[in-house]
Structure 1
């Protein structure tokens, strides 16, 4: 396909993550500002990501992608899910203490990349199981990175260096699938 991918987001953290993930795979990331695109609020991660990509395509009329994440905390019946940004903006690191005492701290971090070329939307998913830390920890306060400890680590994403995070990231898993699609013959 192409060595360039247009990424619609306002998040510098997401752009940095995309660049780390895709540049190493030979794909340049170019950021497009979503401006005032309406975002669907739903617990259905696939729907939220798909609608975001369709709205962005209608604005820019170029093949592009969006990424949307979710943090599903088992003790909270899957919340905050795809509403993680809303919860984090309101609660911040207090989200760690919302889990009832004695309840499981198991959680799943998910990412869906939706690519729209004007004809259809293709979606690429990644997920990582882990747990919520007892308290927020780490230098990079990027949404739930200070709270999520992936299986196989004792560190939150925010305590890891960026390259280590990429190796253990649910987002990276989605980007690898997306990159395979972009590099496939048309």
Structure 2
């Protein structure tokens, strides 16, 4: 298996630590599991990217990936995540607007103004890959419930209000990540890891039309 170098354009202070854990996870291909880190050498780059205001996360990420490539000039990926409220699922809201609303309103204000405390929601992450010729997107999702008030814990973004169904404790991502070995447990079920696994499977199976990433 040929290991490829892919730049990960992000300004998140947590991403490098998370990628080290994700690299040890596996993706499935035809019933066989492969370690992500044996296929992809992620190189974190603090490259600023353009993030247009779009409800559609995939449309936002395609633009974001192309803007990253223009600066890095090498195969690269970007990521953006948002919440999709069950009651607004048809519109995909707030989707790509989650972060600017969250940043402006702050956690409790976000819950109060949107009226989503206690509501069911889907956490959706989209990874975008640009090789200089084409842009591809990969979607990962986790289903859960939003709390009525923010919790303590490793408070990145809406981790303090989202309780994933896949963890039986009923705790938020932030609370799970704050426990012993919690970050690894959180990443095993997170929408971000699911999207990266799809990207890894794509890279593994691609027939050679991509730029040489070695």
Tell me the TM-score normalised to structure 2 length.
Answer: 0.77
Residues 1:60 and 2:72 aligned together = yes
TM-fit CA distance, 1:16: 2.9
Cα distance in structure 2, aligned partners of 1:3 and 1:23: 15
TM-fit CA distance, 1:82: 1.1
Q: Deviations over 1:100-154 (max 9, x none)?
A: 48x8601110011110001111111101111101211131110000000111330
| Conserved 8 A contact 1:22-1:179 | no
Cα distance in structure 2, aligned partners of 1:150 and 1:128: 7
Residues 1:5 and 2:20 aligned together = no
1:11-160 equivalent positions in 2, closer than 5 A: 11-24=12-25, 25-26=36-37, 27-35=40-48, 37-75=49-87, 78-94=92-108, 95-100=110-115, 105-153=119-167, 154-160=170-176
TM-fit CA distance, 1:61: 1.1
TM-fit CA distance, 1:74: 3.0
Total equivalences in the alignment: 184
Q: Deviations over 1:13-52 (max 9, x none)?
A: 23333332135421332111223x3321110111100000
Tell me how large the CA RMSD over aligned residues is.
2.1
Residues 1:166 and 2:178 aligned together = no
| Conserved 8 A contact 2:118-2:147 | no
Where 1:114 maps in the other structure, the secondary structure is strand
| Conserved 8 A contact 1:57-1:63 | yes
Where 2:149 maps in the other structure, the secondary structure is coil
Cα distance in structure 1, aligned partners of 2:163 and 2:23: 23
Structure index of larger Rg: 2
TM-fit CA distance, 1:63: 0.5
Cα distance in structure 2, aligned partners of 1:179 and 1:65: 11
| Conserved 8 A contact 2:155-2:174 | yes
Where 1:82 maps in the other structure, the secondary structure is helix
TM-fit CA distance, 1:78: 4.4
Q: What 5-or-longer segments of structure 1 have no aligned partner?
A: none
User: More deviation in 75-84 or 154-163?
Assistant: 75-84
Residues 100, 51 of structure 1: CA spacing in aligned structure 2 closer, same or farther, 3 A cutoff?
closer
Cα distance in structure 2, aligned partners of 1:183 and 1:129: 27
Tell me the TM-score normalised to structure 1 length.
Answer: 0.88
